[in-house]
C-alpha cells in the first residue's frame, strides 16, 4: 500500500518553476483570451514550453504524479492554463494509450506542440455521469465503416476543437458493452457544434452528428472496447482533477491569509479574531489532507497498485469538495470585495463549482468507492 509522502526537493523546485512560469508567461496570454473560447495562443505556449510533452510523453505512459503536480501548480497561478493543458491531455490520452501507430504519428505531434486542439466527447444530454447510458449511434455504412448519428453535450473545447475522441454505440447491447471510441476530425462532414454559455469560463459546447462517416482507421483500440478506453483515461485524470482543486484551494487560502493579516476590524487585524483564525486553520488542514490524498492516488496509479478506481474516486471526491469549502470560506473572510467582477475569488468561485460535477459527480464518486469496498 502506497503511503502519503512529501514531495522531494526536485519536485518542489519543479512546482515552484511551474508557478513562476504560469504567472510570468501564461497568465498574460490567458487575460488576452475571450472567456468561453479556445485560447490558441495559450495552448501553443503550453506546447512551446514543453508542458504538453509531460502530459503526453513519447513513451506512451503518462505519469499521474507529473499530471497532478502540473495541474496543481498551474492552477495556483492561472486556472485557464491549467484547464487548457488538462483538456489537451484528456482529449489525446486515448490515442496515446490505445491508438494505432498511424494514429499516434498523425495526431500527437500537433497536439503536443499546441497546434492541434483536442476534445474528449463522452457526455450526452441523457448520459453525463452515467457514461454507459450514451446513445450516440454508430450505424454500419454500406461498403464498410459507420455513420455517427446523435448528440454530445457539455464537451470542453467544443465546437472549436480540431480533433474529437468520440464514444459511440456500435452494438445493440445496453450499458458499457457495445461502445467504441473513434477519432473524429472537427471538419468531418455532418459534424456541427454550438457553444454553450456556462458558469465556468472555459469553452464548452454541444456537438451534433448527422451521419458523420468514420472508418476502421478511426477506431481507437478495438471495436466494442470504447468504454475501457474511457475509464482508463478517467482513472488517470480523476486524481489530477483533485490536484486542480487543491491548486485552487491553495490560491484561495493564500489570498485569505494575506487579507486577514492586513485588514483591520474591531481594533486589530482580522487574523486576531478567533472566528477567523480558526476558519483559516480549518481551511489549511483540509487543503493539506486533500493534497496528500491526491498524491497518494497518483503514486498508486504510477506504481500499478490495485484499487486505482477507488483511490482516484476518493482523491477527486475529497479534493473537489474541499476546494469548494475553502474558496467559499475565503470569499466570506474577504466580504463584499471578493464578489466584485475580476477579483481572484470571484474567478475561483466560478471555476471551483464545475469539478464537483465533471468526470463523475461527487455522488458518483461515492458510489464507485462503496462498490470498490465490496469488490
- Catalytically annotated residues: 359
Q: Rounded CA gap, 46 and 292, in Å?
A: 26
Q: Are 138 and 215 in contact (CB under 8 A)?
A: no
Containing H/E element for 278? helix 274-303
Q: Give the contacts of 10 (CB within 8 A, at least 6 positions apart).
A: none
Using DSSP's 3-state secondary structure scheme, residue 185 falls into strand
End-to-end CA gap in the chain: 17
Cis peptide before 21 (omega within 30 of 0): no
Q: Output the CA torsion 315→317→319→325 (10° steps).
A: -170
Instruction: Enter the C-alpha cell of residue 108.
Output: 500527437
Strands 118-121 and 163-169: parallel
Q: Rounded CA gap, 86 and 120, in Å?
A: 11
Q: Output the CA torsion 112→117→120→126 (10° steps).
A: 170
Strand partners, 146: 140, 214
Q: Rounded CA gap, 74 and 67, in Å?
A: 11
Q: Does the CA dihedral 197-120-152-244 come out positive or negative?
A: negative
Using DSSP's 3-state secondary structure scheme, residue 126 falls into coil
Amino acid at each position: 500500500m502506497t503511503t502519503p509522502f512529501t514531495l522531494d526537493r526536485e519536485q518542489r523546485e519543479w512546482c515552484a518553476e511551474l508557478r513562476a512560469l504560469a504567472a510570468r508567461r501564461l497568465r498574460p496570454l490567458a487575460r488576452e483570451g475571450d472567456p468561453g473560447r479556445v485560447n490558441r495562443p495559450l495552448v501553443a505556449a503550453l506546447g512551446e514550453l514543453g508542458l504538453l510533452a509531460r502530459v503526453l510523453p513519447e513513451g506512451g505512459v503518462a505519469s499521474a504524479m507529473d499530471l497532478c503536480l502540473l495541474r496543481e501548480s498551474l492552477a495556483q497561478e492561472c486556472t485557464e492554463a491549467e484547464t487548457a493543458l488538462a483538456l489537451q491531455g484528456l482529449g489525446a490520452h486515448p490515442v496515446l494509450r490505445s491508438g494505432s501507430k498511424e494514429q499516434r504519428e498523425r495526431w500527437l505531434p500537433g497536439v503536443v506542440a499546441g497546434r492541434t486542439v483536442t476534445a474528449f466527447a463522452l457526455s450526452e444530454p441523457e448520459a453525463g455521469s452515467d457514461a454507459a447510458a450514451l446513445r450516440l449511434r454508430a450505424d454500419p455504412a454500406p461498403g464498410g465503416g459507420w455513420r455517427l448519428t446523435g448528440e454530445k453535450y457539455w464537451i470542453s473545447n467544443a465546437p472549436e476543437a480540431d480533433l474529437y475522441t468520440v464514444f459511440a454505440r456500435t452494438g445493440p447491447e445496453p450499458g458499457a458493452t457495445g461502445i467504441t471510441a473513434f477519432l473524429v476530425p472537427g471538419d468531418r462532414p455532418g459534424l456541427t457544434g454550438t457553444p454553450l454559455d456556462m458558469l465556468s469560463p472555459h469553452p464548452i459546447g454541444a456537438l451534433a452528428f448527422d451521419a458523420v462517416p468514420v472508418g476502421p482507421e478511426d477506431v481507437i483500440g478495438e471495436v466494442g472496447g470504447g468504454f475501457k478506453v474511457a475509464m482508463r483515461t478517467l482513472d488517470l485524470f480523476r486524481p489530477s482533477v483533485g490536484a486542480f482543486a487543491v491548486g485552487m484551494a491553495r490560491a484561495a487560502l493564500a489570498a485569505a491569509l494575506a487579507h486577514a493579516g492586513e485588514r483591520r476590524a474591531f481594533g486589530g487585524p482580522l487574523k486576531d479574531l478567533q472566528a477567523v483564525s480558526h476558519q483559516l486553520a480549518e481551511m489549511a488542514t483540509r487543503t493539506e489532507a486533500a493534497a496528500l490524498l491526491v498524491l497518494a492516488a497518483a503514486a498508486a496509479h504510477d506504481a500499478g497498485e490495485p484499487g486505482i478506481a477507488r483511490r482516484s474516486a476518493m482523491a477527486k471526491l475529497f479534493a473537489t469538495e474541499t476546494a469548494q469549502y475553502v474558496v467559499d470560506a475565503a470569499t466570506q473572510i474577504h466580504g463584499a470585495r471578493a464578489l466584485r467582477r475580476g477579483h481572484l475569488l470571484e474567478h475561483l468561485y466560478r471555476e471551483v463549482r464545475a469539478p464537483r460535477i465533471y468526470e463523475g459527480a461527487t455522488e458518483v464518486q461515492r458510489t464507485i468507492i462503496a462498490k470498490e469496498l465490496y469488490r
